[in-house]
Amino acid sequence: MMGSPRSCDTFVVLPPLTKDNLVIFGKNSDRPQNEVQEVIYVKERVRDSKLKCTYITIDESPEPINSIILSKPAWMWGAEMGANDKNVVIGNEAVWTSNNEGEGDARQKRLLGMDLVRLGLERGSTAESALNVITTLLEKHGQGGPCSEFDDSHFYHNSFLIADAKEAWVLETSGKLWAAEKITSGYRNISNGLTIMTKFDKHSRGLFVKAEATGFWNGKGEFDFKKCFSSGGDEKRQKEGERLLKEGTASNNFGVKEMFDVLRHKESCICRGCDDTFPTQGSQVSVLSTNGLSVHWFTATPDPSISYFKPFVFTPNAHVSPHTESPKEPKREHELYKLHAKHHSKENGEMVTKILREMEGSCLSEIEEFMSNYDPESSSLDELDNLMKDCVDTEIKLYG
């Protein structure tokens, strides 16, 4: 496969380390230079018996599909990360493995890892059911194809972090082979390398037999998924992510603001600036609640350290801004992306960032207050219908 891994990081923190016993999810999506990432809300899409994904066509789900919000490279069908209205969130990472022939050949156009993210969100009502959706489709169709619109040499296998309000799953793959680890407390992060070793809770059919038959395992001793299939990873960023989570959870009060801070950490390369060859093109933070309100925050712009996280809540009449949806043209720059790039390249960029951070802080305080008073039996969500749209409009006015 192609050269050394490039950045992306996904995180989850669970009770008892979180504020109000919520589940906090976060992801930075680091993608090729100038690739635009859009944020879209899909409530009801046109359905047929077949579904065209980025490269291949598969059977459509016979069951109703979930409403979803996605942060996605504008050119592809799939998504780097997102959430559904059942409190499930998913992010994926590129991983490079030693299993690169036949069904493991990622140069072949199959399902992209990003397609699997979207399919898991559309069809999964819990983290575990989304995991089952992804692994079933992976075993049936395989994974592969160029992961960049203009670079055919950019291809890889995938790992995933899937969470709901009760638990999380780390899913790591090599071709059609996979292993999954269940996380019920504490914290976990994934970067661009395999992390699952001898402890896993689910695995692909015939994993041990296939690994031995293809020479990745000698059939002796405890089976180690990473040892069998890893061909390298960014150990430094993985360790830095672990360190940041450890420090942030020391007081058992980890919340949305703390996840923002992790995703904005530059020294670790978890946050990569707009001038990087692989910048952070979009970021997501989600707070998941079992009996209250779940809120999903998206930047829809590159580099979270100079971006404004804007909240979204699934309501019966939810809307997102048309200014975060890309036009179908070669550059694909949506309005917010263009204005963000224009104003942060000017001398007053730091002042703009300061104002955005103040806006974000006020918004976070208001949302947390709303959440603390929220009663699913009596509270109305009508006032949150245009939450993200209004925040985007405010940001655009600032740039204007």
- The set of catalytic residues is 8
Nearest to 284 by CA among 265, 306, 312: 312
**Integer Cα distance of 201 and 180 in angstroms:** 6
Please give the structure tokens belonging to residue 371. 């959440």
| Largest Cα span, the chain | 65
Contact yes or no for 307/299 (Cβ under 8 A): yes
Position 168, amino acid: A
Instruction: Please return the burial class of 170, using the count of CB atoms within 10 Å of its CB with bins 0-12, 13-18 and 19+.
Output: buried
Contact yes or no for 220/211 (Cβ under 8 A): no
**Integer Cα distance of 201 and 233 in angstroms:** 23
Contact yes or no for 47/217 (Cβ under 8 A): no
Contact yes or no for 104/178 (Cβ under 8 A): no
From residue 16, how far is each of 24, 249, 254 by CA, in Å? 12, 9, 9
Q: What DSSP element (H or E) covers 152?
A: none
What are the residues whose beta carbons fall under 8 Å from the beta carbon of 69, sequence distance 6 or more?
Answer: 39, 40, 41, 42, 82, 83, 84, 296, 298, 312, 314, 320
Given the structure tokens 């992010």, which residue do they identify? 91
